[in-house]
Amino acid sequence: MNATTAPTPIQVAPPASRNYLSDGYSVRSWLLTTDHKRIGVLYLLSITFFFVIGGMAATLLRLDLMTPEGDLVQTETFNKLFTAHGVVMVFFFLIPSIPSVLGNFLVPLMIGARDLAFPKLNLLSWYVFMIGGLCTMYALLAGGVDTGWTFYTPYSSTYSNTYVMATAVGIFITGFSSILTGLNFIVTIHKMRAPGLTWFRLPLFIWSSYATSLIMVLGTPVVAIALLLVGLERLLGLGIFDPKLGGDPVLFQHLFWFYSHPAVYIMVLPSMGVVSEIIPCFARKRPFGYAFIGFSSFAIAVFGFLVWGHHLFVSGQSLYAGMVFSLLSYLVAIPSAVKVFNWTASLHKGTISFDTPMLYALGFIGLFTMGGLTGLFLAALGLDVHVHDTYFVVAHFHYIMVGGTVMAYLGGIHFWWPKLTGRMYNERLARVSAILIFLGFNLTFFPQYVLGYLGMPRRYHIYPAEFQVLNVLSSAGASILAVGYAFPLTYLLWSLWFGKTAPANPWRATGLEWQTTSPPPTENFAQTPVVVDEAYDYPRLDRSLAQGASS
């Protein structure tokens, strides 16, 4: 076995004098970089910015909902706030988060490549993302939109104010960034794997990134066209969605959800990839059912395209359509459950350590399961009629998207932070904030299940006094959550200057990314690594570490 063969994380090249972060400090060297790792960092900064903006809107919403009369803002402002919150969080934080930050940083490193297949295209993706993001930010700040993040017609085509256009243009532009990133990942994973890195030796994060990329490439054009049609409808009165002119407002909902249901998996598949990396490492075991976890990503990507009609149960689609979509929605739960069972089985008899990434991964499993199970309630036709457009739905998708995606994103950021920055973060503070976030999250969103079950509709500014107690609980939870999120922001920044210097492989993890220095040199690896072993061979790695220690 030669020195760069996996898994030999103890034998790493000596710390390079020059790494990707120190390779030029000028603003120009960052803004014109084609290094996938630097582009990952650019995304990290951008989406953190959007997360803070989206979070501020959420905070205002929860403050306003503390009283039944909604004393803080006007009704119109309230509508604009929840729209801004949804638009920014979904299109500019959740969808790009893991693919663009962790995916950009990790995909080439994990497959032993020097960069993505198209480095310049990758830089272009970031510029396209920023142009779209700033366009939408301008629209939200200049006048706002009050349609909700789903832009349903006729609110968006007939009734809403003019900033619908500018907002939609921003999302339209950003969609190209998603498509370009997806293409780049697909080509890279096909063409640039290190010698010996067969498909069945790939890290599961790569499988999930690949499946996600398929959705990004195939789905994004559909939402782009839906938004384009809303624009044409507003500008030219084409009549595509207007029944007066022979159009159909429900057509918009079909187009929108044909993308946006799969899009929810753009958020959650990469999260599942992150969790599939963390669990084996902190349980010191090979993942149970590697191939099942891998293939279920593809099953989810494919089935995800067949269930959009479960958002239209009460919009007047035919009963038979509803029944078919209901059935198909149950089918998509199977591959998700397969993953949960496999992770759980991977923990069985593991030597588990509860470091911060593991806390987030476990939190992910719990919250995702809760969100998924309530998804099944919603997929039951009769039940959905009762809770559609209530807070039950709000709780469902927050459990999945915030409880799932944000937990996995934070878990991933902590796991790879030493690799990204070359510094260790403060483990104690990090554990405390992970627990705070978990508790704050549940206090925020669990009461919303109850509220929805009791019949409180979503998107209402004023509500009957009987719902106040649960709303106050939820707002209290949101404050805890906000404090929880503020912690990592601070101690991670602090670690950049004062954190301990990170070794190449602080977690004793398998995977090629741990075989290069922290932070990696610009060209990633001194020599192209050669892979001869299966992924996640933790038992063997631990044996060889033990031998190394005793000899």
Residues that bind ligand HEM (CB under 6 A): 150, 264, 267-268, 310-311, 329, 332-333, 336, 372, 375-376, 378-379, 384, 388, 393, 396-397, 400-401
Q: Please report, in angstroms and rounded to a whole number, the separation of the first and last CA atoms in the chain.
A: 19
Partner interacting with residue 436 (select from Cu ion, ligand HEM, none; CB below 5-8 Å by kind): none
CB of 477 to ligand HEM, least distance (A): 20
Indicate the burial class of 306 (C-beta count within 10 angstroms; 0-12, 13-18, 19 or more): middle
Nearer to Cu ion, 85 or 396 (CB): 396
Alpha-carbon torsion, ordered 282, 283, 288, 291, to 10 deg: 20
Indicate the burial class of 406 (C-beta count within 10 angstroms; 0-12, 13-18, 19 or more): buried
Query: Which residue's CB atom is positioned nearest to Cu ion?
Result: 261
Partner interacting with residue 233 (select from ligand HEM, Cu ion, none; CB below 5-8 Å by kind): none
Number of residues that bind Cu ion (CB under 5 A): 1
Partner interacting with residue 109 (select from ligand HEM, Cu ion, none; CB below 5-8 Å by kind): none
CB of 281 to Cu ion, least distance (A): 32
Say which amino acid occupies 372. G
Nearer to ligand HEM, 129 or 303 (CB): 303
Partner interacting with residue 302 (select from ligand HEM, Cu ion, none; CB below 5-8 Å by kind): none
In 10 A of CB 349, how many CB atoms? 9
CB of 449 to ligand HEM, least distance (A): 13
Nearer to ligand HEM, 113 or 394 (CB): 394
CB of 252 to ligand HEM, least distance (A): 13
CB of 10 to ligand HEM, least distance (A): 38
Nearer to ligand HEM, 225 or 333 (CB): 333
Contact call for residues 455 and 461 (beta carbons, < 8 A): no
CB of 341 to ligand HEM, least distance (A): 14
Nearer to ligand HEM, 216 or 393 (CB): 393
Q: How far apart are CA 343 and CA 291, in angstroms?
A: 12
CB of 520 to ligand HEM, least distance (A): 31
Within 8 A by CB and 6+ apart from 245, the residues are: 237, 238, 239
Contact call for residues 221 and 246 (beta carbons, < 8 A): no
Partner interacting with residue 62 (select from Cu ion, ligand HEM, none; CB below 5-8 Å by kind): none
Point out which span in 49-57, 227-235, 260-268, 488-496 binds Cu ion (CB under 5 A).
260-268
Partner interacting with residue 393 (select from Cu ion, ligand HEM, none; CB below 5-8 Å by kind): ligand HEM
- Sole residue written with tokens 């977690």: 507
- 423 near Cu ion (CB under 5 A): no
Point out which span in 60-68, 211-219, 256-264, 482-490 binds Cu ion (CB under 5 A).
256-264
Nearer to ligand HEM, 134 or 385 (CB): 385
CB of 257 to Cu ion, least distance (A): 6
Partner interacting with residue 400 (select from ligand HEM, Cu ion, none; CB below 5-8 Å by kind): ligand HEM
H or E element at residue 271:
helix 249-283
Residue 237 φ/ψ, nearest 5 degrees: 60, 45
What interhelical angle do 407-421 and 249-283 show, nearest 10?
50
Partner interacting with residue 234 (select from Cu ion, ligand HEM, none; CB below 5-8 Å by kind): none
Say which amino acid occupies 434. A
DSSP notation for 56-116? HHHHHHHHHTTSTT--SS-HHHHHHHHHHHHHHHIIIIIHHIIIIIIIHHHHHHHTT-SS-
CB of 276 to ligand HEM, least distance (A): 16
Partner interacting with residue 376 (select from Cu ion, ligand HEM, none; CB below 5-8 Å by kind): ligand HEM
- 396 near Cu ion (CB under 5 A): no
CB of 308 to Cu ion, least distance (A): 6
How far, in Å, are 91, 230, 250, 252, 295 from residue 233 at the CA level?
Answer: 22, 5, 14, 11, 41
- 261 near Cu ion (CB under 5 A): yes
Q: Which residues of 74-87 are buried (b: 16+ CB within 10 A; e: fewer)?
A: eeeebbbbbbbbbb
Contact call for residues 339 and 272 (beta carbons, < 8 A): yes
Nearer to ligand HEM, 90 or 362 (CB): 90
CB of 183 to Cu ion, least distance (A): 25
Partner interacting with residue 125 (select from ligand HEM, Cu ion, none; CB below 5-8 Å by kind): none
Task: Output 164-169 pairs: Cβ under 8 A, ≥24 positions apart.
Answer: 164/230, 164/234, 165/139, 165/231, 165/234, 165/235, 166/135, 166/136, 166/138, 166/139, 166/142, 167/87, 167/136, 167/139, 167/140, 168/227, 168/230, 168/231, 169/132, 169/135, 169/136, 169/139, 169/231
Query: Which residue's CB atom is positioned nearest to ligand HEM?
Result: 375
List of residues contacting Cu ion (CB under 5 A): 261
